[in-house]
Amino acid sequence: MTSMFTPEQFVNMSTEAGFDTKRTNVPEGEYIAVIKDKSFRVEESKKDGRSFVVLDVRWRIDDSALAEKLNLREVLVTQSLFLDVDAGGKLEKGPNKNIALGKLLEALGQNTGPWTPGMLDGAGPCKILIAHDPSDKDPTIKYDRVKAVVKMG
């Protein structure tokens, strides 16, 4: 389906208000998923101003019944991994470095040989475990969290 969206028409288009204000969570549990895409961002610590590199992996859950139940075209959940990088921006290796990344790559069968972040796109399938975390600002709001990723089979 091709979108007929144009900003010029949209800005003056009238619609009836009454949009949802809360998102329905993906039920906690285990799902089969593949990586749709990934992105990187830099977070600054509010305590000491240090910067952290974060890898956000978006998983697409392959469950059409769940997508229909949630009224979504596709069910996406994000896994955020803090990365250990050196002063030059290169991933660090060794004891206690990039453990979360290593676990992800192990589940994907990518934890040996040469590796690039681009290899994540489309990778999988894997089993992912979804849990809910309350918002720091409003404990009635819960966020989906990828708690674990496990190799298929």
pLDDT digits (tens, 9 = 90+) for 96-148: 999 999 999 999 999 999 999 999 999 999 999 999 999 999 999 999 999 99
pLDDT grade, residue 13 (50/70/90)?
confident
With 70 as the cut, is the pLDDT of residue 1 above it?
no
3-state helix, strand, coil in the chain (%, to 5): 15, 35, 45
Q: What is the pLDDT of residue 5?
A: 84
Sequence letter at residue 11: V
Token duo for residue 51? 């910067």
- Does the global pTM surpass 0.85? yes
